[in-house]
Amino acid sequence: MYERDVLSEDWRRPLRGKIPQIPADLDLVVEDADGGFCGAVVACDKEAVTLEDRHGRRRLFPLAPAAFLLDGKPVTLVRPAPGGSPGSAAARRSASGSIAVDGLRARVARESRIYVEGVHDASLVEKIWGHDLRVEGVVVEYLEGVDHLPSIVAEFGPEPGRRLGVLVDHLVPGSKESRIAAQISGDEVLVVGHPYVDIWQAVKPSVVGIPAWPSVPRGVPWKEGVISALGWRREPAEAWRHILGRVSTYADLEPELLARVEELIDFVTGAP
């Protein structure tokens, strides 16, 4: 009944004329049909298109005869008309700077988890990396401090395919946090941290409208000390809502935090 086996040859060749041609507009997200590289268009000339993935890696592909997948369907890319198509490139980027996946349902949660110290840490991670975490199926939970972290890790039971990543405040040599981290690190557990006493400090001072985060004397609760030094008449929860409200993208955060969160996401989503 059939003249040929559709699986016996390159599926693109007999259908080349029927595959739609799509302008390679900036930030269009496509997947290389042969190698599986997925990224957004960052450049295009008359012969080639450059894609960039969510980690910033770039690859160059010829416009022809390369084939791509757009929303799972085969397409060929062509050079866009001068000026490109209307629309905001920023709208296709998530707050973390990764490629935003429009219309994608959240993936079923992985067994692997990321733990952060407190609710403020969790809300900041959600605001900047929430889109990425839903795409990857990663759940973030908070510890309310690190003192009980060894027992929490033991109860979690890390194993291949069930990884645990932990983000710790003030992870510096000689600190209590560093001693606790040393007890639990392993092949399926990654503990990383930033140098700040509190997650508030990971927000750039200029974003909050202050020249610098104030120094708080030893023995004074850090959040309360900061609020007093800045002359704010706010409770810590209200102060954090004010700070978080000024944050909109990864550019509002210090690089030391950005690198650590990206490292954790890569760890818990990587192959065992």
Report pLDDT digits (tens) over 128-155.
Answer: 999 888 888 899 998 877 888 888 899 9
User: pLDDT value at position 105?
Assistant: 57
Q: What is the pLDDT of residues 33-48, one digit of tens each?
A: 887 787 788 888 888 8
Q: How do residues 90-108 score in pLDDT, each as one tens digit?
A: 445 677 777 666 655 555 6
pLDDT confidence tier of residue 174, bands split at 50, 70 and 90: confident
State the architecture of 16-92 in CATH terms.
Roll (2.30)
Q: What is the mean pLDDT of the chain?
A: 82
Q: What per-residue confidence (pLDDT) applies to 108? A: 66
Q: Give pLDDT, residue 16.
A: 44
Q: Report which of residues 171 and 85 the model is more confident about.
A: 171
Going from N- to C-terminal start, the domains of the chain cover 16-92, 113-269
The three-class DSSP label of residue 258 is helix
